[in-house]
A and B are shown apart, each in its own frame.
Chain A
Amino acid sequence: MKSLLNPRNAVVALVIAGLLLLPVYSAVSGNLFILTMFTRIVILALAAASLNLIMGYGGMMSFGHAAYLGIGGYAVGILAFEGIGSGFIQWPVALIASALFALVIGSLSLRTRGVYFIMITLAFAQMAYYVASALSRYGADDGLTIYKRSSFGPLVDLSNRTQFYYVCLACLFGGIYLIRRIVNSRFGLVLQGVRSNEQRMQAIGFNANRYRLVCFVISGTICGLSGALLANNTDFVSPAVMYWTRSGDLMVMVILGGMGSLFGPVIGTIVFLVLEELLSQVTEYWALIMGPLLLLIVLFARGGIMGLLGRFSRG
C-alpha cells in the first residue's frame, strides 16, 4: 500500500475526482464559465495524451500534432455542412481521416530523425493548415460554423453542456486507459525499446520503423477524436486550430506535465490552460510569465510536474 499512497498518486486521484465532480460544482455555484473552460481543458488533455504516446513513449518529437485537431474538426464540420449530422458517421470519419493522414505523413517523416523529423512534421501540418485555408466552400480562412452538434439520437445530447462534458471526460479517461494498455503490451515494450536504443532493437530482430509508424497512426487517430470534440465544443472549426503555435502548445502541455507519464499530459494541460486564463486576466503579455516558467521546468524538472511529484514520493 505504501507505494500507492505517494504524492503523485494522491494528486492524480484528486484531479480525477475533481474532473468527475466539476459539473456538480458548476451547477451548485452557478459558475457556468468553469464548466466551459474545463470542457476545453479535457478535450485538449486528450490531444496532449495522444501526443505523449509518440513523444514520451515513442521518442518521436512531432511538431505537427495540431493537424489532427483540424482534420477531426473539419470531418465533423464538413459533414454537418453537407447535411450529415449523425455522430455515428461524423466521428468514425474523423478518426479514419486522421489515421490516414498519420499513415501518409508518418511513412514519409519516419525516414528522418531528430531535428529533421520535427521540421517535416511541422511542414506537413502547415500544409494541412494552408489547404484548409483554401477550402472556399467551407469558409476558407474565416472557418466554418457548425449549426448543429453531432447527433447520437436518444443516446446522448451533446448540446447539453453537462452531458457533453461527461462525453469528453469519458473519451479522455478511455484514451488514457487505452494508452496505458498499449504502453505495457508487447507493442508498447518494443516501442519504448526503440526509443531507448534503436540499434539494439534492430539487432535482436525488430523492424523499428514499423512499430514507430503504427504508434504514430494510433496517436494521430486519438488526436482526431479530440478534434471532433473540439469542433463540437466551439460549434466552429477554422484553419487556426491547425496553426503551428497550436502544435507548440500541445508539446508544452506534455513537457510541463511530464513526458512518458500516463497522467502527466492531463496535469500539464490543466496547469497550462488555467495559468493562461489567470495570467491573461492580469496582463495581455501573459506569455512573458509563461515562458520563464516553462524554462524553469525544463531546466530543473526534467520529468515535468509528475517528475517533481515523483521525486517527493521517493525522498
Chain B
Amino acid sequence: MAEPLLRIANLTLRFGGLVATDNLSMEVAPGELHAIIGPNGAGKTTLISQLTGQLMPNSGAIYVAGQDITRLPSYERSALGLARSFQITSLLRDFTAADNVALAAQAHAGHSFRFWADARKEQPLREAARAALKRVGLEERADVLVSELSHGEQRELELAVALATRPQLLLLDEPMAGLGVTESQRMVALLKELRKEFTIVLVEHDMEAVFALADRITVLVYGRVIASGKPDEIRSDEEVKRAYLGEQHAVTSQG
C-alpha cells in the first residue's frame, strides 16, 4: 500500500479522569473516503480537533504525508493542506458568504500583511470564492450575510470555506448535522462529487449516508478503535453490532 496520507499513532488525550482518546491508531490512504462512526461521546469530534490542532493530545503522534504535525498550531496545519468543517457551524457571522470563502482563499494566496489595497477588489480571491460557492450550490447567495443564511446554507458554506483553502485532506465533522431530508440528500450528492478529488475523513451519524459513501469505516467507542475495515466488514462485525449498531440494526439490514 502507498504511504498513508494521514497516520495516527497511539494518540491519547485525557480530560482529567476521562480518557477521550485512548491509544488510538488509524491510517487514511490517499484518495479514500474514511468514515469515523461511533455512539455519542465516543470522541469523534475530539479526534478531529486534535487532527486540526484545536486540541493537543497528551501523547502519540499525527503524521500527514509522513510529516509529524502533532505539535503544530492549527494555522500551520492549514498551510499543509488540512481543512475541517465544524460540527457546530463556525463561520464569520457578520461577513457575507463570499467574504468568508474569499478569506479562506486569501490565507493560501500570498501573505496578508498588505495594508493599502482593497482586498474585496482582488479578482483572483473573488474568483476562487465564486468557484467554491458554486461548487456547493451557493453562488446565488454570495452577498448575503452569514447570519441571514439558513442552517442548511451555513452547512454548505462550511464546506465551501474548507474547499477554498485548497486542501489535500478534508476533515468533515458531521456535515449533515441538523439538515432536513432534501438538504441531506443534496449534501450526500455533493460529497459523492468531492470524494473524487479529495481524501476525506467523514464523521457522521447518518448511517445511510456513511454506508453509501465510505470506502473504509473506523468505529470508535469510548475513544478506542473497536473495528476498522470496509463497510461490509463493519456491517458484519460482531463487536460493532454489540457495541453500537444494535440499536440501528434496521438501517444496516436495509443497506
Contacts and interface: CB of A to CB of B under 8 A. Distances in A.
Interface stretch (A166-174, A187-195, A248-256, A272-280): A187-195
A199 B53 CA distance: 10
B90 A200 contact: yes
Most buried by A among B73, B79, B86, B112: B112
B92 A193 contact: yes
Given A186-B117, A196-B94, A206 B112 contact: yes
B108 A205 contact: yes
Interface of A is mostly: helix
Contact of A187 (B78, B93, B95, B115): B115
Nearest to B53: A202
A234 interface: no
Contact of B74 (A186, A192, A203): A203
B10 to A, nearest CB: 25
A104 B54 CA distance: 27
B204 interface: no
B107 A200 contact: no
Nearest to B79: A205
Contacts of B75: 202-203, 205-208
A184 B52 contact: no
A197 interface: yes
A214 B113 contact: yes
B79 A184 contact: no
Contacts of A207: 73, 75
B235 to A, nearest CB: 33
B165 A205 contact: yes
A201 to B, nearest CB: 8
Interface string A3-34: 00000000000000000000000000000000
Interface in A50-70: none
A189 B52 contact: no
A164 interface: no
Contacts of A205: 75, 78-79, 104, 107-108, 165
B161 interface: yes
B95 A188 contact: no
A115 interface: no
Contacts of B118: 184-185
A197 B119 contact: no
A75 to B, nearest CB: 24
Interface of B: 52-54, 73-75, 78-79, 83-84, 86, 90-95, 99, 103-104, 106-108, 112-120, 122, 161, 164-165
List the 5 closest pairs (A to B, CB-CB), nearest first.
A205-B78, A205-B107, A196-B92, A186-B119, A204-B104
Given A188-B119, A201-B92, A203-B78, 4 more contacts: A202-B74, A203-B84, A205-B79, A211-B112
